[in-house]
Structure 1
Amino acid sequence: MTAQDAEELYVEEALALVNNRPGPAFSATAQAPASVSGTPHAAEAPGHRTTPWPEARALAERAARSAGRRAPVTVALGDALGAVLAEPLTALTDLPSFDTSAMDGWAVAGPGPWTVRDGGVLAGHAEPDRLGDGEAAPIATGARIPPDTTAILRSEHGRTDAGGRLHATREVNHGQDIRSRGQECRDGDQLLPLGTRITPVVLGLAAAAGYDTVSVLPRPRAEVLILGDELLTEGLPHDGLIRDALGPMLPSWLRALGAEVTAVRRLGDDADALHEALRTSSADLVVTTGGTAAGPVDHVHPTLDRIGAELLVDGVKVRPGHPMLLARIGESRHLVGLPGNPLAAVSGLFTLAEPLLRILAGRAAPEPYALPVREAVHGHPYDTRLVPVVVRADRAVPLRYNGPAMLRGIAAASALAVVPPGGARPGENVELLQLPWSTAGIQVCFT
C-alpha cells in the first residue's frame, strides 16, 4: 500500500469513527486510531518530527527570506504583469498634462447664447485658437480646451436656433466638464508604493504617467518535475495507468502565485534522472509530484540525501497532503515535494509553495479572511484539515468530493477552509485560503 492510499484509508477510517460518535466531529480528547503503517499517530520515528501546519507555512516564509533579496530588473510594461514594483511609481508628468474636455459638445466662453465658429476642436491636435466672449466651438472628448473657455456644454444639453446661435437647455456652471491639468496627479506625486503587485490597471496607470519600462522584483523561477511511471499524458486511463492531473494544473497555479515556470519535465520513477535534474537545475524553486513517502519507487528523500540538501519540513500535520516536504538545495534554491494525489498536492501548494513564492516574489501577505461554516465540517483528531468550500451568503459551504485524489470539489470552490483538529461546528468561523482566480461571488455548490 502506498502512502497516498494509506492517507485516503486513514481519512475514511477517521470519518467512520466520527459518524459513530455524537456531535459534529471528533472531540479534542478522542483517541486516534493507529496509522495504517502500524505506528501510533502520537509516536513518530526516532529523530523525525512532523511539522504542525501553521509552523510549516512560517518555515516556508523564513526559508524564502534566508535566500536574500534579489536585485531589481527593468522590464517593458508588456512584460511586467504579475510582478511587484521594486520602487515607487512616481508621476513623470501632470495628469492630465493639459486642460481637456470631458465630454463631446461645445467649448463655450461667457454666458449664452453663443455664436458657433467654424471648425471643431479634436483630440490629439495642437492648442486651438482662443475663444472670444460669447463664442462656442464644437469639441470632442479628450481635446485640448481653447484658452478662455468657461465650460463645456454637452451635446445633449445644447440646441441651435434658425440663426445658428447655440442655446443651453440646462444651466451651465463655470468649469463644467473640464478636466483641469493635474486633476489626477502632479509631476512627482507618488502614484503607487514599492511592493505593489502589477495588475492590468497598474500597467494602464504607468503608461498614462509616461512610463515605457518599470523596475520590478524578478519573478522566482520554478521548475516542475512530474514523477511516476503510471501517468498518462493523453487518452483514457487503462491497464493500471492513470491520467496526469498535476502536469496540466501546476504550471498555471505556480504562475498565479508569482513564479515564472521555466520547465515541466516528466521523469517517471527514475532515480538517476531525478538526481540529474536536481543537480543541474538553476530554478529558485523545484516542485516535484509524488515520491515523497518511503515506498520502493519513492526517490525524493534518497535523492535529496545524495545531493546534500537540507530538509526543512519533512511531513506536515495536515490532511490531505501530510507527506509533503520542503528542502534547501545549496544556499538559495529550494524544493517543495508535493504528494502525488491531486488534492493533496493542492494542500502542499498552499502550505509550502505559496508562502515561499510570495516572499521570493515580494508580494504582500493576504489579509486574514474568515467566515462561519454553514454546516458541520468533520475534522481530523490531531491534524489541520483543508476542505474545499464555496462562499454563499457570507457562509462557507463545504463541498463534496474532497478526498485526497479528487479535484471535483475544488474545481467548483472559491476557497479552502482551514479546519482545526476536532472539526468545526455550524456557525463557527474558519480561516479561508482564497484560490488565486476565485471571487467570493461564485455560486456553484454540490450538495
Structure 2
Amino acid sequence: MPWARARAVAATAAALGTERVPLSSAAGRILAAPVRALAASPAFDTAAMDGYAVAGCGPWRIAGRVLAGRPGWAGTLAPGVAVEIGTGAIVPDTAEAVLPYEVCRVDGDTVSGAREVKDHIRRAGEDARPGDELVPAGRTATAAVLGAAAQAGIDELTVHRRPAVAVLVTGDEVVTRGVPGPGQVRDALSPIVAALVERAGGGPLAHEYLRDDARLLRSAIDSADADVVVVTGSSSAGAADHLTSVLAELGARWLVNGVRCRPGHPQVLAVTAAGRWVVGLPGNPFAGLVAGLTLLEPLVAALAASPLPAPATLPVVGAARPYPDGVRLAPVELGAGPARIVPGARSGSLRAAAIADGLAVLGPRWVTGGRAAVLALP
C-alpha cells in the first residue's frame, strides 16, 4: 500500500467512548462535550483592586473594611462614604467604584483621590452565566480550560477515553536490561512505542516479552486487556515471524499488509474478530520508528479523538537515495533554512534519528532542495 494511503487508513479509526474524569485527571484530554458554566463568574460584584469602595464624590469618610472571603458590607454606601476593600471582596451594592491604594490619600478617617476611567469592579456574571458554553467539544483540556472550569463551579469533565495499548515484544534474542551478550539485542522499540502513544493521546501501556512461539503470540493477543496491541519483531516473513498466521487464526480483518516505504516496509494493521486493533512493527529499530509514525501514532490519535497536525512541508537538502516504488523516510535536522538530512541512517540503527528533529518523506522523484513532508519526532 502507498505510504500516504496507509497512514490515512490508520487515521480513519472511530473514536472510543467517553468518560467523566475529575479536573485533576483531565489535563491533555480531548473534550467529548462542551464545558458549560454551572455558576456565574464572578458570582458577585467583586473588587478588582485593593483600595476603597466609594460612592458619590470625594473626599470620602472611611466607614469600615471588607476583605475577601468575609461577609459583604451590611449597609449601603451613601454618597461621600467609603469602605476599605481587598481584591476579591464583595463590593457593596451601592458602590460606584474602587479607588486603588495607589491613587488614594488617607488623612485620619478620610480618603481622597481622583476616580479613574475604570471603576475596578468586576460585575457578577460578566465572564459567564450559568449554562454558558465556555469551551466547545473537541478541544484539548489545557491548563486554562481546567482553570475556567473550576471558576465556573465544575468538578468533572466529559472526555474521550484514552486507548489502552499493550506492547508484545517478540524475539528469543531480545533482552530488557544491561549490555547485550553474544546473539542478543536490547529492546529499543518499547521506548519508541511509549513516546508515540503518549504524544497521540494514548493511555495505559502494558509490556510483555515473548519467545518466538506462535501459540504464545496468539494467546497474548487474544487475552490482551487493551484496545490496541502492538507487536514488534514478528511482522515480516521469516521463520520466526508468526504474526501473519496468528492473525489469520484470530479471524482478523487486514487493513494494511506492507507499505511501499523504506525503511519499514513489513508493517501491519489489522482488527481481530474481537474488535482489537493490532499493529505490527518490524524489529529493526529505525524501521520500527518509521512504522510507528506511519500506522501506530495516527491510529491511537484517531481512537483518542485527537487528530494529528498535518506535517510541515519544507525544502530538504542532503544526500539520500529515493525509493523508486514508494517513499524513503530520512532523518532531518531543522533550523532557520531548509531541513538537512542527517547522514548515516540505516534500518537497524537509531543513531542518525537520535540527533534528528523529524523524518522527511522523500518521494521517488525527490532531488536535493526539493520540498517534502516532514514528520516531527516525539
2:136 to 178, 183, 193: 193
**1:367 Cα deviation from its structure 2 partner:** 4.3
Paired position in structure 1 for 2:376: 434
Structure 2: stretches of 5+ with no match in the other structure: none
**Partner-residue secondary structure (3-state), 1:256:** helix
Q: Determine if contact 2:192/2:289 at 8 Å carries over to the other structure.
A: no
**Partner-residue secondary structure (3-state), 2:166:** strand
Deviates more, 1:215-224 or 1:135-144: 135-144
Paired position in structure 2 for 1:336: 279
**1:262 Cα deviation from its structure 2 partner:** 4.5
Map 1:113-152; keep pairs closer than 5 Å. 113-119=59-65, 121-129=66-74, 130-152=76-98
Tell me: CA distance 1:370–1:100, structure 2 relative to 1, closer, same or farther (3 Å). Answer: farther
Paired position in structure 2 for 1:346: 289
Mapped partners of 1:70, 1:247: distance in 2 = 24
Mapped partners of 1:275, 1:287: distance in 2 = 13
Mapped partners of 2:328, 2:233: distance in 1 = 20
Aligned residues: 376
1:246 to 184, 189, 192: 189
**Partner-residue secondary structure (3-state), 2:230:** strand
State the one-letter code of the partner of 1:112.
Answer: G
Map 1:157-306; keep pairs closer than 5 Å. 157-161=103-107, 163-168=108-113, 171-306=114-249
TM-score, length-scaled by structure 1: 0.76
State the one-letter code of the partner of 1:135.
Answer: V
Q: Determine if contact 1:379/1:422 at 8 Å carries over to the other structure.
A: no
Mapped partners of 1:143, 1:320: distance in 2 = 64
1:380 to 322, 325, 328: 322
**Partner-residue secondary structure (3-state), 2:298:** helix
For residues 54-98 of structure 1, give each alpha carbon's deviation from its aligned partner in whole angstroms, at most 9, with x where no partner exists: 110122233x23xxx544322222333333222221222222222
**1:424 Cα deviation from its structure 2 partner:** 4.5
Q: Determine if contact 2:162/2:304 at 8 Å carries over to the other structure.
A: yes
For residues 285-331 of structure 1, give each alpha carbon's deviation from its aligned partner in whole angstroms, at most 9, with x where no partner exists: 10011121122222222222232323221111122211111112115
Mapped partners of 2:58, 2:359: distance in 1 = 63
Q: Determine if contact 1:255/1:261 at 8 Å carries over to the other structure.
A: no
For residues 158-214 of structure 1, give each alpha carbon's deviation from its aligned partner in whole angstroms, at most 9, with x where no partner exists: 3424x453343xx53254322222222222222222222223332222222222222
Tell me: CA distance 1:367–1:235, structure 2 relative to 1, closer, same or farther (3 Å). Answer: closer
Paired position in structure 1 for 2:32: 86
Map 1:3-152; keep pairs closer than 5 Å. 51-62=1-12, 64-65=13-14, 70-119=16-65, 121-129=66-74, 130-152=76-98
Mapped partners of 1:433, 1:77: distance in 2 = 32
Mapped partners of 1:204, 1:414: distance in 2 = 33
Mapped partners of 1:356, 1:315: distance in 2 = 16
Q: Determine if contact 1:232/1:241 at 8 Å carries over to the other structure.
A: yes
**Partner-residue secondary structure (3-state), 2:53:** strand
Mapped partners of 2:184, 2:235: distance in 1 = 20
Mapped partners of 1:207, 1:292: distance in 2 = 47
Tell me: CA distance 1:245–1:174, structure 2 relative to 1, closer, same or farther (3 Å). Answer: same
**1:412 Cα deviation from its structure 2 partner:** 4.4
Tell me: CA distance 1:127–1:165, structure 2 relative to 1, closer, same or farther (3 Å). Answer: closer
For residues 355-375 of structure 1, give each alpha carbon's deviation from its aligned partner in whole angstroms, at most 9, with x where no partner exists: 2222211223424533333x3
State the one-letter code of the partner of 2:204.
Answer: V
Mapped partners of 1:429, 1:368: distance in 2 = 12
TM-score, length-scaled by structure 2: 0.89
Deviates more, 1:269-278 or 1:135-144: 135-144
Tell me: CA distance 1:248–1:363, structure 2 relative to 1, closer, same or farther (3 Å). Answer: closer
Mapped partners of 1:223, 1:377: distance in 2 = 37
Deviates more, 1:140-149 or 1:389-398: 389-398
Tell me: CA distance 1:224–1:214, structure 2 relative to 1, closer, same or farther (3 Å). Answer: same
Paired position in structure 2 for 1:407: 350
Q: Percent identity among equivalent residues?
A: 41
Tell me: CA distance 1:379–1:117, structure 2 relative to 1, closer, same or farther (3 Å). Answer: farther
Mapped partners of 1:407, 1:159: distance in 2 = 69
Structure 1: stretches of 5+ with no match in the other structure: 1-50, 437-447
Q: Determine if contact 1:118/1:137 at 8 Å carries over to the other structure.
A: yes
Mapped partners of 2:321, 2:132: distance in 1 = 51
**Partner-residue secondary structure (3-state), 1:84:** coil
Q: Determine if contact 1:377/1:425 at 8 Å carries over to the other structure.
A: yes
Q: Determine if contact 1:60/1:355 at 8 Å carries over to the other structure.
A: yes
State the one-letter code of the partner of 1:245.
Answer: A
Mapped partners of 1:224, 1:184: distance in 2 = 46
Mapped partners of 2:343, 2:111: distance in 1 = 67
**Partner-residue secondary structure (3-state), 1:220:** coil
Mapped partners of 2:290, 2:42: distance in 1 = 47
Q: Determine if contact 2:162/2:203 at 8 Å carries over to the other structure.
A: yes
Q: Determine if contact 1:251/1:261 at 8 Å carries over to the other structure.
A: no
State the one-letter code of the partner of 1:289.
Answer: T
**Partner-residue secondary structure (3-state), 1:118:** strand
**Partner-residue secondary structure (3-state), 2:236:** coil
State the one-letter code of the partner of 1:260.
Answer: G
Mapped partners of 1:366, 1:223: distance in 2 = 25
State the one-letter code of the partner of 1:114.
Answer: W
